[in-house]
Amino acid sequence: MSAPPLGYYVPAVLFFQDNEEIDVDAYKAHILRLANGGVTGILVQGSNGEAQHLSHDERKQAIKLARDTLDEHGFQNVLVIAGTGAQSTRETKKLCTDAKEAGASHVLVLTPSTWAPQMSVENILRFHREAADASPLPYMIYNFPVVTAGIDLDSDTIAALAEHPNIVGTKLSCGNIGKLHRLTSRFSPSEFAVFAGKSEFFAHGLLSGSAGTIAALVNVVPKVHGHLYKLYLEGKIKEAMDLQGKLGHADWGAQKIGGVGGVKAIVSKNFGYGGTTVRGPLKAVSTDSLQNNKYYAALEEVIALEKSL
């Protein structure tokens, strides 16, 4: 089982119609803009894809739509990674099987958190190993304490899981650059790929040996992330870090504007497709509210750069 290649990936938002049904046209337009922006792969049903708000059938549909849309437009080389985390080992195994049937190449799995007090290191290791044993696709660990009731896997736990033959990487949305560096100094990215989980430490992760990033802000400015990655590969570190500063402010701004709802509103306002509907209990963000939001200026700066590239 192989790790995903180095690069920059996007946990794609999933657009809905006003009645909360999947907006197929807007979603396909988004997938194509991301692919044209040069992304290495698309994560379907990361935290930005509202996975926990979807039925099993909808989850399969979203994966298949992404894969089919890419294939139909000549982007066969763009990977589709599927978020397959669930609150039981049994359901997680089922979602991993569904992901393969729908066309994904890898799965990314959150640690269950309904019974957070019972999630000892022993239980966490057992969960991921059992799910990875059963997964027909290469398996990645998704560490995001914000959406797992504060459960934060340390580098020892992740390193222990990395020894499993079917566990090939991790997305670190915890923002801990020390943890990332401890893992990258122990494993090569070809055997265990370590991705920064936020744009705000994309360049810092690259300098520490990461495989790249899987980050929400790529939904808004994929080409800007590609430009930073190119600067890094060319050894233009000062220019890369200067651009990283702009991405850091924009990433913080998107979080403060409203997370998933904010990303949808920003994309809808600036790129001509998609609505602002989210499934409750998330809250929609009005496009009209953006201009008066003090955090929006940082987004406007990187969006202007995106449109110039």
Binding site feature residues: 214
- Which residue of the set 27, 139, 142, 232 is catalytic? 142
As given in the structure block, the two tokens for residue 141 are 């660990």
Rounded CA separation 170/162 (Å):
9
Query: Is 217 exposed, middle or buried (CB count within 10 Å of its CB: 0-12, 13-18, 19+)?
Result: buried
The answer to whether 46 and 259 have CB atoms below 8 angstroms apart is no
Which residues line the annotated binding site for pyruvate?
A: 214
Write phi, then psi, for 233 (nearest 5 degrees): -65, -30
Containing 8, the helix (H) or strand (E) segment is: strand 7-12
Cβ atoms of 107 and 140 within 8 Å: the answer is: yes
Answer yes or no: 142 catalytic: yes
Query: What is the Cα–Cα distance from 51 to 32, expressed in whole angstroms?
Result: 20
Q: Could you confirm whether 246 is annotated as catalytic? A: no
Per annotation, catalytic residue among 60, 93, 171, 269: 171
The residue to which tokens 């560490």 are assigned: 143
What are phi and psi for residue 143, nearest 5 degrees?
A: -110, 105
The set of catalytic residues is 142, 171
